[in-house]
Structure 1
Amino acid sequence: MPTQSSPPSITVRGLAAGLALVAGLAVSSCTAPPLGAEPDSEPAAGRSSVAGDDGAHDDTPHWSYDGAGGPDAWADLSSDFAACSTGLAQSPIDLPATMPDLRDVVHLDVGVAEAEEADSGHAAQVDIDDGSTVAYLGHDYVLKQIHAHTPAEHTVGGVVPAAEIHLVHADDDGGLLVLGVLVDEGAHDDAWQPFVDTAAGAEGAVADLDLPAMLPASLAHWSYDGSLTTPPCTEGVRWLVLATPLELSAEQIGALGAAHAHNSRGVQPLRDRTVVGGDATITRTD
């Protein structure tokens, strides 16, 4: 996927890599309303979370990725999910194969982050204890959780990557920013193994994630305004999707998808939104 040089500015501090938001502030795939809702998956029984790009409270109507509770029926499951069918700025989308002019310049300050298993019921996920923040357009977004979708939710020129990992961030006002990392099947990635083992591991599993080592060499990205990718499909979510995919082995991708296979929402109409390009630099903080 193409990359390019740089332009204007934005600052991302403590960007933890290792993630689809807060659905009501639950985050597990990529749907999220203000804190208390998130990107796309509801928390497992008895848990509330900011996982993935979405999340949900325990009293949220049951939804799924297929059958009667699948994406086509989400809006019918609850009036709170109306945006899933009526929203005009929904995610994911098909990203342009040619990177737009780079308007955003993002700086990432990242280090090692503590992660704990937090399967949302819809995605393999970890919650982040503390540390990373993304300063973007005057807002400080704190990394809350990282979750995986298999296959990817965003497509590139119609091509569907093997997986997509969402790093879900939230600010004090409940605003959400999701850093999306696309994944191709290829070589084993040692840096990502602790995330795989923890996200797909037993309840309570913990690990230290070396976020700088987990990010691709190029941080060129697509940027656009979208939504959680899971109910309630809340809009107003800022998406930064890295243009250079990671490579994970078939075994690593399989482990992430084992508990929640095919947990991906289909692409949504772009309508009158504009997808812009961006680049980034990174500084290790530890």
Structure 2
Amino acid sequence: MRPSTSVLVATAIISVTACPDHSNYQSHPHLAPRQTITSNPGRNATDWSYEASYNWGRIKPAYELCQTGTQQSPIAIGNNIGLSNYHHPNFTGYGGGNVTGNFFNWGYGPAFTLKHSGDDWTDLPSMQFDDETVYLKGWHIHAPADHSVGGRHSKAELHMVHVTAEGHERAVIGIRIDPGSSDSEFFAQLPQPLIGFNDTTQDVGVTVDMRAALAEVNDLSEFWTYKGSLTSPPCREGIRWFVARSVLFVGVEQMRDVLRVCTYSARAEQEVWRHEINSA
């Protein structure tokens, strides 16, 4: 079915907030768990939208990879492919789990950027896989989930973005989020009320236990992995994706709170090509 004229026009004129690069930590004097400031965290308007992600490749040459890439993300994950026996992530470099940074809304939902010293990323929590070490730069939430599993999309998905020592995105942990029967300890840490998608000027200095998020998905002991890309233009490839098999369940009111401050941010799933799902 052809997209409507109104959708094509919206693609050309809509101005939205780009997927956060998590480089925007600002030092807050006497940082306290609930200290609020009113500064712009640096989320810039873009010439693309998630509602028309099928069209990114034709917007300008810099986005060509969104159309021609061989390892584009996200993808659909089938229940019949089994779990990965390779590339197991190791989180001993996360230490105690507590990290300090900025909590904000990236224009689509909750996000968090870790405090770091200039261009030195190596003092951040580290994850090891194969012979690589990468560092947690920040996290953000998409709603609905980018990845489907067994044909179903969860209500949201947490992306934990890891970079190389030089600050280049290298690995992302994807954790699906759905409502359950009890509250999530991880989400209970976040400042209330959550910052809305229409408030891009506020951020909050907060300390968060990232180990809590991992614990709620069994420390990623079961996962799918593949070679993929960033899920927004310019859709750069070379990203190792880890998608947790376990779902991070939150309380009903927690789920409603998250969805209340989110807006649509799921890229259309891409055809599997050279993704090497779960392969060595």
TM superposition score normalised by structure 2: 0.72
1:198–1:207 Cα contact (<8 Å) kept: no
Q: What's the counterpart of residue 252 of structure 1?
A: 254
Distance 1:192 1:92, change over 3 A: same
Q: Which amino acid aligns with 2:164?
A: D
Indicate the residue corresponding to 1:55 in structure 2. Answer: none
1:82-231 to 2 correspondences below 5 Å: 82-98=64-80, 99-109=82-92, 110=94, 111-130=97-116, 131-173=124-166, 174-186=168-180, 187-195=182-190, 197=192, 200=195, 203-215=202-214, 216-219=217-220, 220-231=222-233
Q: Secondary structure at the match of 2:218?
A: coil
Alignment of 1:39-54 (within 5 A): 47-48=41-42
Aligned-residue CA RMSD (Å): 2.7
Instruction: Classify 1:48/1:65 alpha carbon distance in 2 versus 1 (closer, same or farther; 3 Å).
Output: same
> What letter matches 2:170 in structure 1?
L
- Tell whether the 8 Å contact from 1:180 to 1:242 is kept in structure 2 after alignment: yes
Deviations 1:181-216 (A, max 9, x none): 111211321332224748636712122211222222
- 132-141 or 175-184, larger mean C-alpha shift: 132-141
Aligned counterparts of 1:277 and 1:254: Cα–Cα separation in 2: 37
Identity %: 25
1:210 counterpart letter in structure 2: D
Question: Which letter maps to 2:86?
Answer: R
Matched AA of 2:111: Q
The letter of the residue matching 2:175 is V
2:106 maps to a residue whose letter is S
Q: Is the 8 A contact 1:218 1:244 kept in 2?
A: no
**What's the offset of the Cα at 1:163?**
1.1
- Specify the alignment match of 1:268 in structure 2: 270
- Can you give the 5+ residue segments of structure 2 that lack an aligned partner in the other structure? 1-17, 24-38, 117-123
CA deviation after TM superposition for structure 1 residue 272, in Å: 3.6
Does the alignment pair 1:242 with 2:244?
yes
Moved more, 139-148 or 202-211: 202-211
Q: Which runs of 5+ in 1 are unaligned?
A: 1-25, 37-44, 50-57, 279-286
Q: What's the offset of the Cα at 1:101?
A: 4.8
135-144 or 237-246: bigger deviation: 135-144
> How many residues align structurally?
228
For 1:198 and 1:71, how far apart are their aligned partners in 2?
31
- 8 Å contact from structure 2 (residues 90, 129) kept in 1: no
- 1:58-77 equivalences under 5 Å are 58=44, 61-66=46-51, 70-77=52-59
- Answer yes or no: is the 8 Å Cα contact 1:92–1:265 preserved in 2: yes
Q: What is the Cα deviation at residue 164 of structure 1? A: 0.6
- Give the CA deviation at 1:47: 4.1
In structure 1, what is the Cα distance between the partners aligned to 2:19 and 2:254? 22
CA contact (8 A) 1:166 1:178 kept: yes
The one-letter amino acid paired with 2:246 is: T
Question: TM-score, normalising length from structure 1?
Answer: 0.71
Which range is displaced more, 220-229 or 195-204?
Answer: 195-204
Q: Which deviations, in whole Å up to 9, do the C-alpha atoms of 1:209-268 show, x marking residues without a partner?
A: 112222222521111110011111111111011111110123323333333322111211
